[in-house]
Amino acid sequence: MAKPLGIVTRYRTHLEHFDVAFWEAKDVGGARRPPVPGTIPMVSFFGDNRVAGQHPDWVQQGPGGERGARPTRYFDWDTLCPSRPEVAALALRWAEAALSGAGALRLDDVTFARRGYCTCSACQEGAAAAGLPLEAWRQRVLSNFVAAVRERAGARPLYLTLYPDPYPGHLARERGLDLQELAPLVDAFVVPLYDLTYSTTYWLEVLASGFRDLLGPHPWWAELYALGVPTPALTKAALVAGTYADGLLLAYGAKLPELQSVAAAVQKHFGESASP
């Protein structure tokens, strides 16, 4: 069965050569880029170093008051708490701006940071007022956010990025993502399964098949890291992931002929794509 193959790119010259192209409209650093017609904007919603720097009290808090920000171990960017009304309002403005003139939208970093996050005052007070445990509260907050974006998107396709952890219950308990609630709101999930070399692929198969089991018939795309990865290894990784995913994305690859070579191998293996 054909697999659509797209790219995540910052190169305008690559856009026309693939089924779909995702464009970073706002990244975790807080940098915003003007929209590019024909691309799907990606917006980092609850990761933003710039906003966190201006509003330190909006940052997610973990157990013992640990801050979900770069100075803390294992944090590569600063998180924002979706329970904060100011953050939620800002995120919806970003969604509206990205949807303006776009045919689709990808929601990135719609998540709580990790196990035990967030325990800030907004989360505590929100959960208490709703009569919910914190875990259920976090799931409600993120489901409500995605539902509000869906309202604004109308029938336009929505993609939602998931942390690559298909272990049963983890996305709900540790990230605030209730897949049962979210699946009807989005057209496809996107799961980044990144490696710098793909010199082995057994783990890729474990994760990809895990997501297939977890999501059932709901569409999902595997996103592979392409920058500097040898083409034979990237091709093999694409064929492994494509066995379980409904679509494939190659992210940040710089060399167009190499990306096209992977796309050709995917087409040969799975059949011609039905998309343009």
How many residues make contact with Zn ion (CB under 5 A)?
Answer: 6
- Write down the least CB distance from residue 60 to Zn ion, Å: 6
Which residue number, 67 or 106, has a Cβ lying nearer to Zn ion? Answer: 67
CA 41 to chain centre: 12
Of 79-87, 144-152, 211-219, 223-231, the segment contacting Zn ion by CB under 5 A is 79-87
Distance CA 259, CA 134 (A): 44
* Of 96 and 125, CB closest to Zn ion: 125
Binding of residue 52 to Zn ion (CB under 5 A): no
> Is 15 or 134 the residue whose CB approaches Zn ion more closely?
134
Q: Which is nearer to Zn ion, 118 or 207 (CB)?
A: 118
As a whole number of angstroms, the distance between CA 95 and CA 107 comes to 8
CB of 178 to Zn ion, least distance (A): 17
Give me the least distance between CB of 87 and Zn ion, in Å please. Answer: 9
Taking the least distance from each CB to Zn ion, the nearer of 122 and 265 is 122
Of the candidate residues 8, 28, 43, 81, the single one contacting Zn ion (CB under 5 A): 81
CA distances 191 to 18, 212, 225, 275, Å, are 19, 11, 11, 21
At 58, is the secondary structure helix, strand, or coil?
A: helix
Is 83 or 201 the residue whose CB approaches Zn ion more closely? Answer: 83
Give the whole-angstrom CA distance, residue 7 versus residue 22: 6
The residue type at 111:
T
Q: Where are the alpha helices (DSSP H) in the chain?
A: 49-54, 85-99, 121-130, 134-153, 170-175, 179-182, 202-215, 231-242, 256-270
Cβ(108)–Cβ(44) below 8 Å: yes
Strand-pair category, 20-26 with 40-44:
parallel
Query: Which residues have CB under 8 Å from 23's CB, separation 6+?
Result: 9, 10, 33, 35, 36, 39, 40, 41, 42
Taking the complex as a whole, how short is the minimal distance between the CB of residue 136 and Zn ion, in angstroms?
A: 14
Write each residue from 115 to 134 as x if it is in contact with Zn ion (CB under 5 A), else as -, in one continuous string. ---x-x-xx-----------
Q: Coil, helix or strand for 13?
A: helix
Site for Zn ion in 83-102 (CB under 5 A): 83
Q: How far is the CB of 121 from Zn ion (least distance, A)?
A: 8
Q: Within a 13 Å sphere around the CA of 25, how many CA atoms are in the beta-carbon half? A: 27
Stretch that binds Zn ion, among 25-33, 42-50, 75-83, 168-176 (CB under 5 A): 75-83
Rg of the chain, C-alpha, whole Å: 18
Among residues 196, 198, 200, 190, the alpha carbon closest in space to that of 222 is found at 190
Nearest approach, Cβ of residue 220 and Zn ion (Å): 28
Query: Judged by CB under 5 A, which stretch of 110-118, 152-160, 217-225, 237-245 contacts Zn ion?
Result: 110-118
Interface contacts to Zn ion, rule CB under 5 A: 81, 83, 118, 120, 122-123
